[in-house]
Amino acid sequence: MFYPKVHDPILLKEISTEIRRSVIKSLTLAGSGHLGASLGLADLFTCLYFAILNHDPDDPKFSDRDRLILSIGHVAPLLYTTLARVGYFPEKELETLRKLGSRLQGHPGREHGLPGLELSAGSLGQGLSVSVGRALAGKMNGNSWRVYCILGDGELQEGSVWEAAMSASHLKLDHLIAIVDRNGVQIDGKTEAIMALEPLKEKWKAFGWEVVECDGNNHQDLISSFHLAQQVVGKPTVIIAYTKMGKGVPMIEGDHRWHGKAPSEEESSLFLKQLEETTAG
Amino acid sequence: MTKQYINRGDRPTKEGFAEGLLASGIRHPEVMVIGADITASVGANLFAQRFPNRFISLGIAEQNCMGVAAGLALEGKIPVFATYGVFAALRTTDQIRVSVCYNNLHVVIGGAHAGLSVGADGATHQALEDLAVMRVLPNMTVLSPCDATQTKIAVQQAIHQVTGPVYIRFGRAPVSDFTRDNQVVEVGKGQLLHPGNDLTIIATGHMVWEALQAAYLLQEEKISVRVINIHTVKPIDQEIIVMAARETHAIITAEEHQVTGGLGGAVAEVLGREYPVPMRLIGMPDRFGESGEPAELMKKFGLTGQTIIQTAKELLELKSK
Ligand SMILES: [Mg+2]
């Protein structure tokens, strides 16, 4: 049985807030990790795991499930938090993030046995190729499940992403949907200053992809974009999701310095307070 | 002791790869081959002609080829990605490390144009570092068969017997084809090809034939040389190596590969820990190759039976002191 989809927008909002709260807490305990993108993508993960993906937390390897490939392995805290919230493992285990002996590795590592992980990843530029391979196998077998691949915008500077993009359209993989986290920042600063990606939409189009743009922090916009992407025939679709790094905590929103940092105890309580204020309003 | 092995005629080991791949394709419907433009020259052509729907051309984009192979393996396919060894092992090392090895996926990587005997194409295309780089990766199995017949069997073992990532290297130049059709190639086990008590030559790839020739010539001088073929560089057969050290007290390794990090390194690691004896390593002396005829190059860089004989005599002299 697939996990029942959540349609209530208020409930989805509450889930996103819970996930953000949990991400802040587990990163604070861990003492290191990537807070910015984990907060920025909380809405995307909520929509995927609660409203879009066909999956079953009670049977993580069910063969007809959709496959979610997280190419940006550094967003692991958000993936773990979402998987726990949706029922893959007890939420208590989130306290072990990045600790010795934990199943919650700094970047996803399947050999540690955490249920729900589709790929051990963390070296940027590899997830889309793996997604192409999985989608190709599904297509050859005549399966109906889809592959969803989450990419970072800074990651698009890796040449191998474009090798994969070229092959996905060449192979007409319409069961492959890529999502680019277009938060405009990477570790050193703004993407456009470090290595410009624009015109990004045109680049994907030129590589033979259907392109959908959306507000990556708006649930309804995300969900309708996925429904649009699912209808595309004969080519893969990329959803360029414009997000804000650090979304939900106004004092760090859009600040690239929070890409790879965990909050201190003090910052953590401040962030949690801000999170409650923004979601209450 | 007579010559047990004779050359049935020179053949590129690539032909063995092509034949083995075809046989595996017939044997198992999930075997797929990924091509990066050089289908015929890496021996994927027989498979591609027979199974066009299971041959996926992905162009000159090796990093993507490796990642796609990982994705196919995650879905239960048995992907074989073959290209020149320099690209297969080195251009895609990070994809192999993370997407393939860290996920412990059964991806079969074929490294063509192995060694110096690629010849005229020169240094860029002579894979002389692949064994070292593949050997260091966790979960990886590394195969280096010694002739076309053995390559044909070994690639089928790589596809049907090994369960994790596996790298198999093979060459372009026609070399002696001498091992038996009905031999057993057990992954992880060395083959004792020639008995001897005075010293042991442990070789891999085409250098196994050179080692045998050296042993046969030394025999005429009443020097008894054991020859061991290591077709599995990783996991290496510790038992056969330690036994050779214990019984012959002198070891030479020979490989068409950089002298550091490959077979010689692997054997030295075992003996340094288990049973240190005087040892000499024959291989490419930490430099790049160049253009030339295969035989000329092998001679120039000392990868010949003659070098083995000379080294054996030096080592025996040292041993007798
Ligand atoms: Mg970014």
Domain of A29, CATH number, reads 3.40.50.970
**A275 found inside a domain:** yes
- The CATH number that applies at residue B306 is 3.40.50.920
Please report residues of B whose CB lies closer than 8 A to that of A138.
75
Is it the case that residue B34 has pLDDT exceeding 80?
yes
Same domain, yes or no, for B108 and B235?
A: no
Say if B97 is an interface residue toward chain A (CB within 8 Å): yes
- Which residue segment(s) compose the domain that A231 sits in? 9-280
Instruction: Indicate the pairing of strand B225-229 with strand B191-194.
Output: antiparallel
CB neighbours (10 Å) of residue B150?
A: 28
Residue of A71, A136, A145 for testing the chain B interface, max B β-carbons within 10 Å: A136
- Is the pLDDT at B3 greater than 90? The verdict is no
Say what the pTM is.
0.97
In a domain, A4, yes or no: no
Question: Does some domain include residue B238?
Answer: yes
Nearest to B277 by CA among B248, B309, B308: B248
The reply to whether B101 and B130 lie within a common domain is yes
Quote the ipTM score.
Answer: 0.97
Cβ–Cβ under 8 Å, residues A276 and A22: no
Tell me the chain A residues in contact with residue B77 when contact means C-beta distances shorter than 8 Å: 137, 140
Answer yes or no: do B40 and B164 share one domain.
yes
Q: What is the pLDDT of residues B199-234, one digit of tens each?
A: 999 999 999 999 999 999 999 999 999 999 999 999
Residue B149 in any domain: the answer is yes
Domain boundary among B141, B176, B211: B176
Q: Are both B133 and B240 inside the same structural domain?
A: no
- The whole-angstrom separation of Cα A281 and Cα B142 is 60
Q: Which of B193, B302, B320 is nearest to B254 (CA)?
A: B302
- End-to-end Cα distance, chain B: 27
Domain with B163 in it = 10-176
Sign, CA dihedral A56-A60-A66-A69, equals positive
Contact criterion met (CB below 8 Å) for B109 and B91: no
C-alpha span between B105 and B96 (Å, rounded): 10
- What distance, in Å, lies between the first and last C-alpha atoms of chain A? 37
**Do B39 and B125 belong to one domain?**
yes
* Total count of domains within chain A: 1
Query: A242 CA distance to ligand 1 centroid (A)?
Result: 10
Q: Quick: pLDDT tens for B96-127.
A: 999 999 999 999 999 999 999 899 999 999 99
Question: Domain for residue A103, yes or no?
Answer: yes
How many domains does one find in chain B? 2
Task: Tell whether B96 is covered by a domain.
Answer: yes
Write down which residue in B120, B148, B176 finishes a domain: B176
The residue assigned the tokens 């490959």 is B262
What confidence category does residue B302 fall into, taking pLDDT thresholds of 50, 70 and 90? very high
User: Do B160 and B93 share a structural domain?
Assistant: yes
Residue B184 lies in a domain: no
Q: For the domain that residue B62 is a member of, what is the CATH number?
A: 3.40.50.970
Query: Are the Cβ atoms of A130 and B102 closer than 8 angstroms?
Result: no
β-strand partners of B31? B78
In a domain, B208, yes or no: yes
Whether residue B239 sits in one domain with residue B125: no
Tell whether the model's pLDDT for residue B1 goes beyond 60.
no
Residues B74 and B121 in one domain: yes
Which parts of chain A have pLDDT scores under 50? none
- Are B27 and B159 contained in the same domain? yes
Average pLDDT over residues B258-271: 98
| Cβ separation B95–A129 shorter than 8 A | yes
A-chain residues near B98 (CB < 8 A) = 120-123, 126
Q: 3-state DSSP: chain A helix, strand, coil percent, rounded to 5?
A: 50, 10, 40
CA A157 to chain B, closest CA, distance in angstroms equals 15
* Residue A2 lies inside a defined structural domain of this protein: no
Tens of pLDDT along B151-187? 999 999 999 999 999 999 999 999 999 999 999 999 9
Q: Is residue B164 domain-shared with residue B198, that is, in the same domain?
A: no
pLDDT, tens digit (0-9, with 9 covering 90-100), for A159-204: 999 999 999 999 999 999 999 999 999 999 999 999 999 999 999 9
Domain boundary pick from B149, B176, B203: B176
Look at residues B316, B200, B208 and name the one whose alpha carbon lies nearest to residue B254.
B208
